[in-house]
Structure 1
Amino acid sequence: MGHDHEGRVSRRRMITGLGSLGLGGLVTAGDTGVNAMVDTASDPETHAKADALFARARTCTLAPSTMQGPYYFETKAFRSDLREDRPGVRLRLAIKVQDGKSCRPRPGAVVEIWHCDAAGYYSGAEAESRDAMSGSAQIKIDPATKFTDMKPSDRRRYLRGAQIADPGGIVRFTTIWPGWYPGRTVHVHVMVVVDGDRALCTELMFDEAFNRQVLALPPYLQHDKPRDTFNGNDPMHKDAMLTHVTEDGDGFLAVIVLATDHRDR
């Protein structure tokens, strides 16, 4: 697994040097070359598998919108490999962003993802997520709940990052299969920024057959309590959030199409 701390720092410094633009502002400023600074998230064989899955995932239905959750903050970490030192089953994730009306790809859209590690902890919020895991703190999970961007409580940034969509509207990440914590099924948070606006906040989920297969392996087995929430009883789950998944070497590949209703300025 890559340990590219210095590379990430230098990229963040360069991005910050462009001005305090945020994820959307960077693209609005016209810097679509940031992808060239990050590692390739997959090889040609995986790209071919992704193309086949995208053909199955084709849709023009608007992606379901959700709250951003309590652990979101902009990292400005433009990179494809998010794993850092986190152990877990490798997950390659390909996301295609398109316009919900025309079905055309949205190149240049910024896609940011974040999720917990195998133990259920979020970087930048390890103390908070540890309390939630232990049950000493309860987070109200309700689709109507509103959360604002949090102020990170630690300096860790694993399993967080952003990419800029290519001409086909696609971004690719390498991460690990997410773990779980009480009250939620296995999920990945996604923020899509178009023309500087937060056009979509949603979640990605996985068929329970794959969840059972992965969570039966170390390091996911370290949980001392059984899962209490699955896709069927998760308050945020919608079928449209399910990714199309296939085995990919020693890990998995998951793809999804996200259609937004954002209108060009």
Structure 2
Amino acid sequence: MSSETKTDNPSPVLTRRKLLYGMGLAAAAVPLGQFLAACGEGTDGSGTGTPDPMDSVVDPGAWATGGTRSMTALSSYPDPFAAGLGSACALTCEATLGPCYATTVEREDITEGEDGLPVRLAFLIVDETCKPIPGATLDIWHCGPDGLYSGEDASDFCTTGDERARSARWYRGVQTTDANGRVNFNTCFPGWYSSRTVHIHFTVRLNNQEYVTSQFVFDDALDDEIINSQPLYNTRGPRDTTNATDNVVSAESAPEYSFQTKRMADGAMLAWKTIVIRSSLSNASCSVPGGGGGGGGPRPPGDGGMGPPPGGRDGGGMGPPPGWDGGTRP
């Protein structure tokens, strides 16, 4: 993506009211709402030497199921950024948008009641001096446990034409950071699809201008544990791509683009990451080291999600949706 300053129209956002109107519902259970180097050297990523707030969490020894309704201890989850940051933060670098971006919804819980391993995603957005950025919008999207994306305006390559996926808007959401640069989403752990490691897409915008579009991943051992043993995730066999073999977030960059995670007392996962954006669009951007395209995509039911997408391993997964001009989202 170009580092030139350009006005980026905001993503198409459905408010809760608009979403309900379009679905013909009168009420809803869905609430509204790097190369990234560590900002410091402490065990909590702060460089302050203060105790890690995660140390006080009692691990129940098993992951929860049932989606976000199983997050019964949500109000007691610790703030992973409470210890603060250092004074210098390295930029979060660009990675491909991918072909599965679609209209998003302003909300905190992005599951629409879907089942899966519940995850609280905690983000902190700062600039290169580690100064929190209030008023930035964070737009995230990822596939469900079955490897499918949602949205009738998403490519059939991403939904495989599945009518249930096309009629939903699950695992998509956008929110605005608070005065401390913080924002949380409640979701379920993503599934996998052929030629891609487990990942979450995101875009950060400030004043309607795009500052970074990239992707974060999870530790390979954690991915394998969940995919091989957890309900909904263990029905399709082993995944065919790991962080080490992915062609977007490579083995070289995966450690810096992986969420930190901790199992909470209710069995949900807390996953957190700091996103560092440029203090000005006139400053140079960067690309994820070792990353390439965005090969692979969800496969139709019946083939286990294995095998390359049409046109080869990289076919269809490279680059943005049709009509995307490098700045304006469809």
Normalising by structure 2, we get a TM-score of 0.58
Tell me the secondary structure at the aligned position of residue 81 of structure 2.
helix
Partner of 1:240: 256
* Structure number having the greater helix percentage: 1
Deviation at 1:79, TM superposition (A): 0.4
| Paired amino acid for 2:267 | D
Equivalent pairs counted in the alignment come to 212
**Structure 1 residue 82 corresponds to structure 2 residue 98:** no
Deviation at 1:56, TM superposition (A): 8.1
For 1:236 and 1:264, locate their aligned partners in 2 and report how far apart those are by CA, in whole Å. Answer: 23
| Paired amino acid for 2:144 | D
Going from structure 1 to structure 2, the CA distance change for 1:164 and 1:229 (only over 3 Å counts) comes to same
Partner of 1:227: 239
Runs of 5+ consecutive residues of structure 2 not aligned to the other structure? 1-13, 22-30, 34-70, 283-330
Q: Contact conserved, 2:107 with 2:174, CA < 8 A, in 1?
A: yes
Q: Contact conserved, 2:119 with 2:188, CA < 8 A, in 1?
A: yes
| Paired amino acid for 1:253 | L
Partner of 1:214: 226
CA RMSD between the two structures? 3.0
Deviation at 1:263, TM superposition (A): 1.3
Deviation at 1:12, TM superposition (A): 5.5
For 2:88 and 2:242, locate their aligned partners in 1 and report how far apart those are by CA, in whole Å. Answer: 25
For 1:234 and 1:111, locate their aligned partners in 2 and report how far apart those are by CA, in whole Å. Answer: 24
Q: Contact conserved, 1:179 with 1:220, CA < 8 A, in 2?
A: yes
Q: Contact conserved, 2:145 with 2:192, CA < 8 A, in 1?
A: yes
Partner of 2:320: none
Partner of 2:327: none
Going from structure 1 to structure 2, the CA distance change for 1:9 and 1:88 (only over 3 Å counts) comes to same
| Paired amino acid for 2:17 | S
Deviation at 1:204, TM superposition (A): 1.2
| Paired amino acid for 1:70 | P
Tell me the secondary structure at the aligned position of residue 51 of structure 1.
coil
Q: Choose the corresponding residue for 2:213, options 188, 191, 201.
A: 201
Cα shift readout 1:32-79 (whole Å, capped 9, x = no counterpart): xxxxx834x984421x24236x7589960101211111011232x110
For 1:170 and 1:59, locate their aligned partners in 2 and report how far apart those are by CA, in whole Å. Answer: 18
Deviation at 1:126, TM superposition (A): 7.5
Q: Contact conserved, 1:57 with 1:256, CA < 8 A, in 2?
A: no
Q: Contact conserved, 1:59 with 1:257, CA < 8 A, in 2?
A: no
Q: Contact conserved, 1:195 with 1:264, CA < 8 A, in 2?
A: no
Deviation at 1:241, TM superposition (A): 1.0
Partner of 2:32: 38
Q: Contact conserved, 1:132 with 1:182, CA < 8 A, in 2?
A: no
Q: Contact conserved, 1:91 with 1:253, CA < 8 A, in 2?
A: yes
Q: Contact conserved, 2:100 with 2:155, CA < 8 A, in 1?
A: no
| Paired amino acid for 1:257 | T
Partner of 1:251: 268
Mean Cα displacement is larger for which, 85-94 or 113-122?
Answer: 85-94
Tell me the secondary structure at the aligned position of residue 128 of structure 1.
helix
Runs of 5+ consecutive residues of structure 1 not aligned to the other structure? 1-6, 15-36, 134-152
Higher RCO (C-alpha under 8 Å, 6+ residues apart): 1
Partner of 1:157: 169
| Paired amino acid for 2:271 | A
Q: Contact conserved, 1:194 with 1:262, CA < 8 A, in 2?
A: no
Partner of 1:96: 124
Mean Cα displacement is larger for which, 123-132 or 185-194?
Answer: 123-132
Q: Percent identity?
A: 29
Cα shift readout 1:201-250 (whole Å, capped 9, x = no counterpart): 01111111221222121101121x42110011111112221111000222
Deviation at 1:156, TM superposition (A): 1.6
Partner of 2:150: 123
Tell me the secondary structure at the aligned position of residue 158 of structure 2.
helix
| Paired amino acid for 1:226 | P
For 2:260 and 2:166, locate their aligned partners in 1 and report how far apart those are by CA, in whole Å. Answer: 34
Going from structure 1 to structure 2, the CA distance change for 1:211 and 1:201 (only over 3 Å counts) comes to same
**Structure 1 residue 64 corresponds to structure 2 residue 89:** no
Mean Cα displacement is larger for which, 204-213 or 63-72?
Answer: 204-213
Normalising by structure 1, we get a TM-score of 0.71
Q: Which 4+ stretches in 1 moved above 4 angstroms? A: 11-14, 54-59, 130-133
Tell me the secondary structure at the aligned position of residue 240 of structure 1.
helix
